[in-house]
Structure formats: structure tokens, C-alpha cells
A and B are shown apart, each in its own frame.
Chain A
């Protein structure tokens, strides 16, 4: 149980385009989803927290107009990287939890390469 999927697993795009990444909880209802960014050989950096049906809460230094997060249902959250640039190339990982539980379950990640 507690499976989280991400799509796509890999995406290559041209600079200036927008990219949407989906995060789904497959066997539970995720009241809260999180988006992280991981640079090579580094730890995870929390970008934002999203609760179903409400606006995402962004961490300090994360541009909310660049990284659009939508959590429209209890099983789906999307991260859209708008007008992507090479410096946005990274490994993006989502996680989800339900109710008051503290454990987060992570997706397999999406590797974004902006040319």
C-alpha cells in the first residue's frame, strides 16, 4: 500500500516551454502532497506543500509564478514549470500523506532537462 506515482519519469524540453509533472496517490487519498527538488548528490529541498482544494504554500525563495502547483483532487497534484530554463533542470520528487499521519510516501521522481 501507499504507492505514489509520477509522470513523466523523464522529460527533455526546449528553453522557454512549460512542463507539467503529475503526482498521483494510487491506493490512498492524499490530503497533503509535497514537491521537492533534488540536485545531483544533494539532499531534497522542499519547494511547496499543497493541500487538496487550497492554494499551495511555497517555501522561501521558491517562485510561485514559475512553479505552479495544483492539487485539485485527493489523488492528483501537478507541478508546472513555466517558461523553463536550463537552471530549472533537476530531479523533481513528490510525496504524499493522508490525514494526520506524519509519514510521507514518495514518488519515483521526474528528471527534467531543459536545453
Chain B
């Protein structure tokens, strides 16, 4: 079946530190992979996506590469800011069933000044 596993949080970093949030997946088809960000009290915002193996999604300094060989889609940022504090969700969309998203459990990021 389809599933997404994220590293547990919370992750606490100092401003300008390097960020990695691990995400691995299992899928029966050819999924697209997504990172969404949720700020307190709000819905989810699309951060970046990748639709096929070796694609790199990037936005606002965040990057993630679709690695089919390791079934991973780790989120990275070279220098985090306090404003990046939020919950980050990794998700996959089943290529055989466009309807469903499978979400990871979410990773809370706290960035301290």
C-alpha cells in the first residue's frame, strides 16, 4: 500500500542553522511527492513538489529531491529563519489513484533567534 513516514519532531534549531526533515515513502504506483507547510491555526500551503524520480522541487530556499532508489524525499534548507517555524507535512499522491493524498504525521519545526 501507500504510506509516508516522517521523522518525529519537534525539531529545534537556531536561526541560520541547516535543516533536514526526513521523509520516506512506500507506494504501489508512480507517486508524485509534496511538502506542505502549516502555520499555527491555518490550513496547509504547498511548499514544493516533484512528480518523477530525480526531480528536485524548490521554493523559498527549501529543496527536496525525489529519490526512487531510497524511496525518500527529504526536505532541506541551508539557513532557517524564525519565520520558518511551522509544521511540515510530507505527502504522496498515488499515480494510480489521483484522488488520494497520503500524509506523513507532520514535523514541527521551532527556530529560535
With A and B bound together, what is the CA distance between A34 and B104 in angstroms?
A: 17
A77 interface contact, C-beta 8 A = no
Known: A6-B43, A43-B103, A46-B100. 7 other contacts (CB 8 A): A32-B99, A41-B108, A43-B105, A57-B99, A106-B45, A107-B43, A108-B43
Q: Which B residues form the contact surface with A (CB < 8 A)?
A: 32, 34, 36, 41-46, 49, 51, 89, 93, 98-101, 103-106, 108
Q: A42-B106, A93-B44, A109-B43 are in contact. Are A103 and B34 (CB under 8 A)?
A: yes
A103 to B92, CA, bound (A): 10
Q: Which of A44, A57, A104, A108 makes the CB contact (< 8 A) with B42?
A: A108
Q: How many whole Å from B35's CB to the nearest CB in chain A?
A: 12
Nearest opposing residue in chain B for A5, CB measure: B43
Mostly, the B contact residues are: strand
CB closest chain-B residue, reference A105: B46
- The size bracket of the interface on A is 20 to 34
* Inter-subunit contact A106/B36 (CB<8 Å): yes
Instruction: Select the residue from A44, A104, A105 with max chain B CB neighbours within 10 A.
Output: A44
Interface of chain A residues 79 through 115 with chain B (CB within 8 A): 93, 95, 100, 102-109, 111
Q: Which of A41, A106, A111 contacts B44 (CB 8 A)?
A: A106
**Bound Cα distance A41, B89 (Å):** 12
Per the bound structure, the CA–CA distance linking A43 and B36 in Å amounts to: 12
Known: A42-B105, A46-B101. A109 touches B42 (CB 8 A): yes
Q: Are A102 and B32 in contact (CB under 8 A)?
A: yes
